[in-house]
Structure 1
């Protein structure tokens, strides 16, 4: 069963909210999203459009695959600028509510202002805090819509960049528990900063999405860049340490953040939703919960995609398939509908 914690002590789902939410909430007017590739809608704010605008001949940056200075995601292995083979969970959630989606998410975004693709950062701040700055500019002198549902879904790239910056091969793994917990703590601090920034812009309802099941990713189980250097490196334990630290702190601390800021904060436990989805794998149409349907996302050495993507949980080594996105969207909708 999914769980819900609340400042008011109500247990009905996978959300957290302040006591001020005791009265029935009005329907959301729109969804405004800040996040990474799990929410990147392939629009003008997305990583494909932004990277293309900065690369020659459109921009000042020379194309260099060795430095990851390429259009990402590419147009061959990914669908219409999405880091998957279809629409994301937040897109499907907005469609379910039949409301507009303002999507500022950027593939590779970190919980601060930076990006996994570090070459982007000198030109544009694509991390969540940078995305909120762009949102602020669109508002001008106006306040944000208090009836909108803002979504913060971030942190995985904090871990991915840390790993790739600190682990050159499988012979040395300087990923200590204390360092990973410190990294997770900084991610939580950045999320709190994002909550404060959105509150200052007039946001009244925010859904914070917990870290996904990083320890189950094909990337974590050896299908990673380090495997090209020497041999596959397993990051399952490191991923679990990172995700569990963040999710534990979010679940315990978001109620006080909501109370302090005077807003409603819903916590969606992605990990719990994933457990339920995987537990009912056959019913959900899955035949493969472990491998990438489209191998090559973590190394650039793409191979042929599987013949039935909807039977796979993962599209590439990092990202879910459109089927998984749909099931996560269903879980989000059910959780939001169960709010007091």
Structure 2
């Protein structure tokens, strides 16, 4: 019994080593970006509850956002610097739509978040951290043209380069979800939706090329561009197949506001932001994607442990027979 118990524990420990690999590979998760990443920072800048209930604790959704789920799955501490409305470069869309109080966040673009972070760290950031940047949607909401593709991707490349110069080496950058699936786009005609989708695809293609180029130029740089577009498209199609609502938001704001009673059966929380269920699904998928490939010796440990367990079980079965 003692041998069997020991071998079983060996197998479990060997398997767990693979899952723990992601947590061991990075010291922490540091996040920048817009409302898809913001875990309550907009509230801190404005010193008021915004977005207010029924939004969840300052998130632009009804629960935690994807990067929070990702950090939890990886077992990493999260340092989230993202601010809702942020552009890829300087500036914040929210500040422009309501300049009275929201001007307090005018200097919270993704580039400004990163500059402030580097300055706070004295010019040298944690080289073992995983740096997460998810932004771009606000650039297109303000200027939905082809010119924005190049400028937004150029901004993200500059963002990565700035962090690299300060010591960062490992990056996780999700691409853009389909802009044609936001509520405002869905209220337009097919031509508009096709244009929004084409802009998304162009941005994502440029992003891949830009990050590949940076990896060639900057020694030791590792950038993982995560395909959020494909994951969310598949997830949304799955929601639709199950009869969930993928066209109108759970929370309707404006002159006649309303709130659905079953947000878990909605893809959109508000006009442009996904529900917590969507955030959880993609955050979990991101964590899986961020797991490094185990070294050969780790695979050997795992398979050895599992093989020994299998051998002992077969031996016990033969003895019982």
TM interval, shorter chain, is 0.7 to 0.9
> Aligned partners of 1:339 and 1:258: how far apart in 2?
19
Match of 2:193 among 236, 249, 254: 236
- Superposed, 1:178-193 pairs within 5 Å as 180-193=145-158
- Superposed, 1:212-231 pairs within 5 Å as 212-222=177-187
Match of 1:278 among 212, 224, 236: 236
Normalised by the length of structure 2, the TM-score is 0.77
- Secondary structure class of the residue paired with 2:186: coil
Contact between 1:220 and 1:235, CA under 8 Å: does it hold in 2?
Answer: yes
Contact between 2:239 and 2:267, CA under 8 Å: does it hold in 1?
Answer: no
Counterpart of 1:102?
A: 79
Normalised by the length of structure 1, the TM-score is 0.72
> Aligned partners of 1:259 and 1:25: how far apart in 2?
27
> Aligned partners of 2:73 and 2:91: how far apart in 1?
31
Contact between 1:222 and 1:235, CA under 8 Å: does it hold in 2?
Answer: no
> Aligned partners of 1:103 and 1:199: how far apart in 2?
18
**Cα RMSD, aligned residues only:** 2.5
Displacement over 6 Å in runs of 4+? none
Contact between 2:23 and 2:75, CA under 8 Å: does it hold in 1?
Answer: no
Shift of 1:98: 1.6
Counterpart of 1:72?
A: 50
- Secondary structure class of the residue paired with 1:267: strand
Instruction: Pick closer, same or farther for the CA change 1:233–1:240 going to 2, 3 Å.
Output: closer
Match of 1:154 among 123, 135, 153: 135
Structure 2, unpaired ranges of 5+: 1-21, 295-321
- Structure showing greater radius of gyration is 2
Deviation string 1:268-291 (CA, Å, 9 cap, x unpaired) is 0111111222343379x7611221
Of residues 33-42 and 114-123 in structure 1, the stretch that sits farther from structure 2 once superposed is: 114-123
Structure 1, unpaired ranges of 5+: 1-23, 54-70, 164-179, 224-231
> Aligned partners of 1:286 and 1:334: how far apart in 2?
27
> Aligned partners of 1:282 and 1:181: how far apart in 2?
30
Contact between 1:222 and 1:234, CA under 8 Å: does it hold in 2?
Answer: no
Contact between 2:153 and 2:210, CA under 8 Å: does it hold in 1?
Answer: no
Q: Which has the higher helix share?
A: 2
> Aligned partners of 1:191 and 1:40: how far apart in 2?
17
Shift of 1:100: 0.8
